[in-house]
Amino acid sequence: MKTRMLALLLALLCVLSFVACDTPDSDGDPTGTAVETEEETTEEPVIINEDTLVLAQDKQSEYFIVRAADSTDAEIKAAYDLHSYLSKMTGCRIRIITDDQPETDYELVVGYTNRSPEDQFDEEALGEEGFAIETVGKKLFIAGSDTRGALYGVYTFLDEYLGVRFYASDYEYIPKKPTLALQPIARDTQIPVFEYRDIDFVISRVDNFQTKLKINGVNAPFDASTGGKTDYVGGFVHTFNNLVSPDLYRASHPEYWGMNPDGTPQEGSYVQLCLSNPEVLQIATESVRTLLENNPHTDIISISQNDSGEQLPCMCKNCQAIYDEEGAYSGAIIRFVNAIANEFAADYPDVKFDTLAYRYSRSVCKTKPADNVIVRLCTIECCFSHPLGTCPDVYGKANSDNTIAEDIAAWGEITDNIYVWDYVTNYAESVTIFPNFHTLLPNVKFFADHNVIGVYEEGNYFSDTCDFSELRSYIMAKILWDPYMSEEEYWGHIDDFLRGYYGRGWKSIRAYIDLAQDLVKDIHFGIYDRAAIALYKSEIVGSNRNELPESLTLDMIKNYKSTDWTPYLWYYRAAEPSPLVTEGYKLFDEAMAQADEDQLLRLEKLRLQIDFLYSYTLYKNYGRDFIYDNIEQLLLNFFKKHPDGQNVPKEEQNAYIRTIRQYCADAYLAKYEEFNRTLCTSAIWHGIDMMYEGCYSMSERKENMVFASVPREW
């Protein structure tokens, strides 16, 4: 009787459920608060007809958010985040209920619930990460799995249908909608092309933000509430030393590691294993067994070569015989990994084993990888100025006669399990722009077209940067989810980000990006090209050395410490910055003049990339040799041509030249040092602590840094 009365009471409450803005939700706040943002926007005309779903109006709503009674943490977060963002948009707190409560006509259904007929959604086809969004009558369904599917569906609905933007961990755009009306949605089904999608920038790892970008890789602190992630156990990459420990075996069994053709051991900390040695295989297999037994929820185990640069693999007779049979060094790796993968295939059918086709092992072999083996190719040698497959690689470090594009295609002919380790930044000059925005989409499309099922985009993983790291994270997430978007859609996403993140002057920032790309359109560059590439080169301009400045007098020379030498400092020659610097400063000034306080702070950080570029030009103008040449030529011509100068004895002339050029070199080099010191301080303040991969921390070394050289040499 009590149960029946409770049901009737709940039904009555549902009928009278025009929920006011201060109505609490039933789940509380189990997952934290969404990022607070500026939300001012002009309300667009709202069209309401009989088919329209009016989700909220004047801080009231007829709707409930419905989740399954046995929801996982991820489904609870999906429902709550929908509630939270709708509340911020409308001022109305739409109540969350579970599907064991009475059904109403006005529901926003999250995940798989009893509100759907069994055949409404193909759960197997949608998988863990796919989702479907559709309206039926006055109900909205966001259907997806209890891991990440429902979450991804909610974030996509907020983005694509309601105008919320997840730009960066420090700023989300949430429009104000006093009347939130939704027109009917025919089923929108989205299933990712790539099963594994990873972006590695420092700023993209913050606060589980990658979940909102539909990224599932290893480089974010995902937990149960975000549906977990693709989990590597035992190391992400370069794991040979993890599986066969040098500390345990190197001294007693040097034969376990790479040999030279004459039988002597190869030297170094990251020598490769001898993969033809059966004892090595046995030890590695037992290491993998231990990892699997201790980590029952493992997704992937990496069995991959050490990162030993140019060093070749083991060249003993047995390994060499395998290379000859396979036609490639990768053959020994694939045989080795296949043996381990086959050992555990039956007991761990959901686990995959990942290895590299990298540098010496990039060429395809004859042996096919096992069905549970992933081959990950690395684009480290390729040109990033032009799309894959359109030009040769720029570095000859791979032991392959093919380009990286040809090798990806070749591996795609023998396996369906290809991952790619891709690069989207300049590792030699990480604080200056890497002008590769025009290759990002076509390259990811190329991966999708050639059996690639997982992509890791390595960015500035070692430090924050002023090279559009927020934009790169945002746009890379978009194209990893949908690599077949059009160029128009791609650049539309970029423009939308620039507008939202940098403000009304965003077109000036887009013009800066376009300028940088245009300057390198005929240049091939890779990920280790420094600021010396043509984009950053300063033009050395020579002046007419026969013209003598009329303003220079003998008294000024005699009283050189009281003279302003700036007008004469580049008498003989000068370095003019590249158009990217001169035009870049103008464009940033235009953008910053229209920015609000927060946008201005972001633009100040972004603008540092031009300051770093400009420092290279200033070094040429303020460097000791440059000033020596200019002052020496200036004074030589004065003593040769000026009547007062001609009367100065030769020995005295030489003394003035030596003294004044030294004085100017010291004085103006100090100006250059001050510019660099200020630049370093600003960079550290904005969280930029490393200028390139492998460099020292600027914040830790600032007091001992030498600012009389170009930034890379501080």
Structure-block tokens of residue 82: 């929908």
Percent of all residues in the chain with a pLDDT value above 90, rounded to a whole number: 75
pLDDT at position 1: 37
The 10s digit of each residue's pLDDT in 595-611 is 999 999 999 999 999 99
Bridge partners (DSSP) of residue 423 are 458
Count other C-beta atoms under 10 Å from residue 165's C-beta: 21
Backbone dihedral angles phi then psi of residue 557, each to the nearest 5 degrees = -70, -45
Amino acid (1-letter code) at residue 345: A
Q: Which of 41-45, 152-156, 709-713 has the lowest mean pLDDT?
A: 41-45
Given a contact cutoff of 8 angstroms between Cβ atoms, the answer to whether 50 and 79 are in contact is no
Given a contact cutoff of 8 angstroms between Cβ atoms, the answer to whether 356 and 300 are in contact is no
pLDDT at position 39: 44
- Nearby residues of 398 by Cβ (< 8 Å), 6 or more positions away: 359, 360, 362, 363, 381, 404, 407
The 10s digit of each residue's pLDDT in 396-421 is 767 788 999 999 999 999 999 999 99
Q: Which one is predicted more confidently, 203 or 92?
A: 92
Percent of all residues in the chain with a pLDDT value above 70, rounded to a whole number: 92
Q: Which of 301, 284, 318, 304 is nearest to 218 (CA)?
A: 301
Buried b or exposed e, range 96-112, using 16+ CB within 10 angstroms: bbbbebbbbebbbbbbb
Structure-block tokens of residue 300: 């992937």
Q: Which one is predicted more confidently, 488 or 308?
A: 488
The 10s digit of each residue's pLDDT in 169-192 is 999 999 999 999 999 999 999 999
pLDDT at position 543: 65
pLDDT at position 314: 96
- Sign, CA dihedral 516-521-527-531, equals negative
Mind spelling out the 3-state secondary structure of 399-420? Answer: CCCCCHHHHHHHHHCCCCCEEE
Q: Which of 234, 204, 233 is nearest to 219 (CA)?
A: 204
CA–CA distance, 278 with 286 (Å, rounded to integer): 12
Query: In which element (H, E) is residue 342 found?
Result: helix 330-344
Angle (deg, nearest 10), helices 487-502 and 469-481: 150
pLDDT at position 289: 98
Given a contact cutoff of 8 angstroms between Cβ atoms, the answer to whether 426 and 388 are in contact is no
pLDDT at position 695: 87
CA–CA distance, 58 with 61 (Å, rounded to integer): 8
CA–CA distance, 610 with 608 (Å, rounded to integer): 5
Q: Residue with structure tokens 């990251």?
A: 270
The 10s digit of each residue's pLDDT in 358-401 is 999 999 999 999 999 999 999 999 999 999 999 999 887 677 88
Nearest 5°: the CA angle 523, 526, 530 is: 85
pLDDT at position 34: 42
CA–CA distance, 51 with 535 (Å, rounded to integer): 55
Is residue 713 predicted with pLDDT exceeding 80?
Answer: yes
Q: Which of 128, 139, 145 is nearest to 51 (CA)?
A: 139
Amino acid (1-letter code) at residue 282: Q
pLDDT at position 435: 92
C-beta contacts of 391-400 below 8 A and 24+ residues apart: 391/524, 392/524, 393/526, 394/524, 394/525, 394/526, 394/529, 395/526, 395/528, 397/310, 397/359, 398/359, 398/360, 398/362, 398/363, 399/312, 399/329, 399/359, 399/360, 399/361, 399/362, 399/363, 400/362, 400/363
Angle (deg, nearest 10), helices 650-685 and 597-622: 150
Is residue 33 predicted with pLDDT exceeding 60?
Answer: no
The 10s digit of each residue's pLDDT in 142-155 is 999 999 999 999 99
CA–CA distance, 264 with 267 (Å, rounded to integer): 9
Given a contact cutoff of 8 angstroms between Cβ atoms, the answer to whether 13 and 5 are in contact is no
pLDDT at position 7: 37
Given a contact cutoff of 8 angstroms between Cβ atoms, the answer to whether 299 and 230 are in contact is yes
How does residue 530 score in pLDDT terms, banded at 50, 70 and 90?
Answer: low
Terminal CA-CA length for the chain: 81
pLDDT at position 337: 98
pLDDT at position 308: 78
The 10s digit of each residue's pLDDT in 435-467 is 999 999 999 999 999 989 999 999 999 999 999
Q: What is the residue-wise DSSP string for 277-326?
A: -HHHHHHHHHHHHHHHHH-TT--EEE------TT-----SHHHHHHHHHH
Amino acid (1-letter code) at residue 666: D
Bridge partners (DSSP) of residue 134 are 141
pLDDT at position 24: 38
Name the DSSP letter for residue 259: B
pLDDT, the chain, mean: 90
How does residue 247 score in pLDDT terms, banded at 50, 70 and 90?
Answer: very high
The 10s digit of each residue's pLDDT in 659-710 is 999 999 999 999 999 999 999 999 999 999 999 888 889 998 888 888 998 8
pLDDT, average across residues 245-272: 93
Side-chain-facing half-sphere of 615: CA atoms under 13 Å:
27
pLDDT at position 534: 57
Distance of CA 461 to the CA centre of its chain: 8
* Predicted structure pTM score: 0.90
Backbone dihedral angles phi then psi of residue 509, each to the nearest 5 degrees = -70, -40
pLDDT at position 43: 58
Bridge partners (DSSP) of residue 555 are none
Is residue 533 predicted with pLDDT exceeding 90?
Answer: no
Given a contact cutoff of 8 angstroms between Cβ atoms, the answer to whether 201 and 460 are in contact is yes
Is residue 133 predicted with pLDDT exceeding 90?
Answer: yes
